[in-house]
Amino acid sequence: MREARRQPLRLKYVPQRTCIACRQTGAQRGLIRLVRIDQEQVEVDLTERRAGRGAYLCPTQDCWEMGLKKDRLEYALRTKISPQNRRQLAEFGQSLPRRASDVVECLSSTSGS
């Protein structure tokens, strides 16, 4: 009889995206997507399914501040962001951990449970 040949296991493809602030690439699920809804409206898209032009930021306050302060978000989304919308995005960014090391610590503490 013939010996059964084993197929090597294929690794699942993980989409990569680049943070517009720090320019580091990472898994799409590890970044936060922002989407342009209309000409001056930008929203956080946690479901990653909303229609519209999107850009990604790391889940840290540092990247959010840099992305909003240096107009990198406006450039990536090809739009002007209203001052009110900019404040809303900045408030969301304030709820995030300060540095990337804080994110790693947070993820490692929750995955051990």
Q: What is the pLDDT of residue 107?
A: 41
Kind and range of the H or E run holding 49: none
What are 14-28's pLDDT values in tens digits?
999 999 999 999 999
Ramachandran area for residue 74 (φ above 0: left; ψ -120 to 50: alpha; else beta): alpha
What are 27-57's pLDDT values in tens digits?
999 999 999 998 879 999 999 899 999 999 9
Q: What is the pLDDT of residue 33?
A: 96
Q: What is the pLDDT of residue 44?
A: 95
The CATH code for residues 16-98 is 3.30.1230.10
Beta-bridged to residue 19, according to DSSP, are: 56
Local structure of residue 28 (DSSP, 8 states): G
Q: Give the domain ranges of the chain.
A: 16-98
> Given a cut of 80, is residue 5 above it in pLDDT?
no
- How distant is the alpha carbon of residue 48 from its chain centre? 9
Lowest mean pLDDT among 68-77, 83-92, 102-111: 102-111
User: Inter-axis angle of helices 83-94 and 61-69, to 10 degrees?
Assistant: 160
